[in-house]
Structures are given as structure tokens and as C-alpha cells.
Amino acid sequence: MPTGLTREELSQQMRRMLEERVARQQQLDQDFVRENAARYEALQAEAAAITAALEEVAKSIYDPETKAPMTVVTLRRLLGTSDQAFDKIGREDVIYRDYRTAMLEPGLSVEQRRLLFGQALVGLAQALPSPSRLPGERFSTVW
């Protein structure tokens, strides 16, 4: 071995280094938790206050399906559902913006439409069609 250590000595040295690294990481984690304990407590108190406020609001709102007062869990579920719906709408608008422009914008030349459509394909994160070989041509693309 080029280092002059036997395989067993090298293995022990690597094991020792790994144990030291793990111990150091655990110490850093403990230091972080200790240094930020007050912030964690403040966040927990704020979360409890928000939950209490939501419980008060939930009592005044009735579930349209069951006609029973809503709970915090129901409100959070409905919020998550509506957030997902709005996220989908927002993503689709951004994803298809260049495509709509390329296809529907009046007055664009063929070359401008090709450029915008190419940009739209990149924005859609779709695999571009590979050039196909046609007899008598070097390369032919879908456009």
C-alpha cells in the first residue's frame, strides 16, 4: 500500500474518521436546536394562536354538504383543495402562453410562428421530435 498502512489500519482510520464526522454533525445539530429553541417556541405559540383563531372562524361557517359547523381540519382540507386548483390554473397559463401566442396571434409570419412554437415546446418540457430521414433528403423535421 502506498501509505504504509495495512488494510486493517486503513479501515480502522476510516471508521474513526466517520465516527468523528457523525459526532461533529450531531454536536452541530444540538447546537442549532439549542440556539434556536426560543424561535421554535415562538413559532409553536404562533401556530397555536392561528389554530385557535381558525377554530373561532370555523364555528361560524357551515359545511355545505353536511350543514354542520366546519372544523379546522375541514378548513385546511378545503384550502388545500382550492390552492391545488389555483396552482393548476396558474401553471397551465404559464405553460401554454407561448403555445397560444404561436397558434392564435394574428399577423405573425410563418417564421415567427415556428420560432414561438419552438419556444413553446421547450417551455412545455416535452421531448422534441427527432428528425426523420426521408428518401432523397438529408434531414426533415416535423415543421
Query: What is the tens place of the pLDDT at every residue in 103-141?
Result: 888 999 999 988 888 888 777 765 555 555 545 555 445
- Report in angstroms the alpha-carbon separations of 126 from 77, 93, 119: 32, 16, 11
Confidence (pLDDT) at 61: 85
CA distance 7 to 1: 8
pLDDT score for 1: 44
For 54-88, what is each residue's pLDDT tens digit?
888 888 888 777 888 888 888 888 888 888 887 77
pLDDT of 5 strictly over 60: yes
Radius of gyration from C-alpha coordinates of the chain: 30
| Cα distances (angstroms) measured from residue 44 to each of 30, 51, 54 | 19, 10, 15
The per-type count for the chain, helices as H runs and strands as E runs, is 4, 0
Separation between Cα atoms, residue 101 and residue 120, nearest integer Å:
9
- Burial label for 73, CB within 10 Å (0-12, 13-18, 19+), is exposed
Beta bridge partners of 132: 140
Q: Which amino acid is at 17?
A: M
Phi, psi of 54 (to 5 degrees): -65, -35
Report yes or no on whether pTM surpasses 0.75: no
Number of residues that make up the chain:
143
